[in-house]
Amino acid sequence: MSHKHSMDEDNFESLVYRMQMETSSTKRKLEILFDSKGFFNAEHVARIIYQCAVPSDKIRAIQIMEPRLCRMTCCDAVDILGAASVHNDKLILLDCIKRALIDSQTREGAEYILSAFTFEGDKARAYSILQTVVSTQHDKVPAGGHQGYAALGGLYTQARPLVPQLYGSIAHQRKSIPGQGEIAIPPQADPGIVPSVYTSHPSYAYIPARGYAEDRQYPSARGFPEDVTFQSVYPAGAPPMGFHGGAPAPTGFPGLTMQ
């Protein structure tokens, strides 16, 4: 969420004005919010929730904005929780915005969130919700471990070990993490053959396969083998196929002719 930037004030004020002018249907207000473009910061989210009078519409509004939330502090998130008209809805709002909080693991940030709740039971549930996410987890590099057995006594390592003597510096290892570092583009294969100008013609990049008879060496009209340069001596060659001969290497009398 760090790369998200909230929409400019002019576009946001235009969105709020359109929602305020829609008085015929509460469903239409949510459709206007759904069709909007851009991301929302904590102040924007609180103002949008205040535009919805029905508690169920407040929940639908925060669910629409959840994938488009900018990163925010717990101090800013208190205003969002205060926009809930039903006390139990605060827990639902917190569950929707918990992934956008950047300081929920600190003591000060947790105290800001807990200050928005009145009852001790709700405070405990809110604190348990905060413990389900870690906002800084993606900034850490795994330190090895999680090994599983592979073939021939090898091991599969699911995390990248941080051993500079074997794998280089930490900065070098971070570049090899998927999504970071330079993009490795494989070189394009050059078959060295000009492609055909006809789209329906077989590709010249592939060597034609041998035929059925050539691959299996079955006797055919062309003979087996194709070119016979010698005369076999009886008993040798294929079995007779007619009165006086057989295959290209007959066992009969090739010198005789049919009368």
Q: What's residue 145's pLDDT?
A: 46
- Whether residue 169 sits in one domain with residue 119: no
Same domain, 70 and 149: no
The kind and range of the H/E element at 28 are helix 26-35
pLDDT of residue 1: 47
**Residue 50: partners with Cβ closer than 8 Å, 6 or more residues away:** 83
Judge if 97 and 33 occupy the same domain: yes
Give the global pTM: 0.52
User: Into how many domains does the chain fold?
Assistant: 2
Q: Is residue 225 part of a domain?
A: no
Distance separating alpha carbons of residues 138 and 141, to the nearest angstrom: 8
Considering the domain boundaries, does residue 201 fall inside one?
A: no
Same domain, 49 and 85: yes
Domain range spanning residue 156? 141-175
Whether 161 and 78 map to the same domain: the answer is no
Residues of the chain with pLDDT under 70: 1-3, 135-167, 178, 183-209, 211-259
Do 167 and 61 belong together in one domain? no
With respect to residue 188, please indicate whether it lies within any of the assigned structural domains. Answer: no
